C-alpha cells in the first residue's frame, strides 16, 4: 500500500460499462517521483486529502471483483506516526 495526496480528478465520458459509478482521482504518492496514479475512489476522498492506496489485486477486491482497476483509494488518513 502507498500513502499519497489527492491532486486532481479524472472524468471519462466514455468508459467500459463495468466502470459506471466509479469516481476516479489523481493521487501523487509520497516519496515517488513518477507520474500521479489514477485511482478508483472507494473512500469518498477529495482534493488535498492524504489517502491510503492499494494496487493490483487489492484494488480489484476493494472496487469489486469484476471492476477493471489497478489502483484504489481505500482510506482517508487522519494521522501518521513514526
Query: pTM of the entire structure?
Result: 0.91
Q: Is residue 82 part of a domain?
A: no
Residue 12, domain extent: 2-76
Stretch 27-51: mean pLDDT: 93
Q: Is residue 68 part of a domain?
A: yes
pLDDT tens for 11-37 read 998 989 999 889 999 999 998 778 899
Give the three cell numbers for residue 11: 472524468
Q: Is residue 81 part of a domain?
A: no
Q: What is the CATH number of the domain that holds 71?
A: 2.40.50.220
Could you tell me which residues come within 8 angstroms of residue 79 by beta carbon, excluding any fewer than 6 positions away?
none
Q: Is residue 6 part of a domain?
A: yes
Burial class (CB in 10 A: 0-12, 13-18, 19+), 19: middle
Q: Is residue 10 part of a domain?
A: yes
Q: Please report where in the chains the cell 500513502 appears, as a residue.
A: 3
Q: Is residue 50 part of a domain?
A: yes
Kindly tell me the sign of the dihedral angle through the C-alpha atoms of 17, 23, 25, 29: negative
Stretch 56-60: mean pLDDT: 91
Domain count for the chain: 1
Amino acid at each position: 500500500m502507498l500513502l499519497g495526496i489527492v491532486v486532481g480528478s479524472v472524468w471519462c465520458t466514455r468508459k467500459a460499462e463495468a466502470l459506471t459509478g466509479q469516481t476516479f482521482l489523481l493521487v501523487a504518492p509520497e516519496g515517488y517521483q513518477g507520474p500521479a496514479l489514477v485511482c478508483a475512489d472507494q473512500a469518498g476522498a477529495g482534493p488535498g486529502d492524504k489517502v491510503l492506496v492499494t494496487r493490483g489485486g487489492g484494488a480489484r477486491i476493494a472496487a469489486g471483483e469484476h471492476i477493471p482497476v489497478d489502483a484504489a483509494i481505500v482510506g482517508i488518513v487522519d494521522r501518521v506516526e513514526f
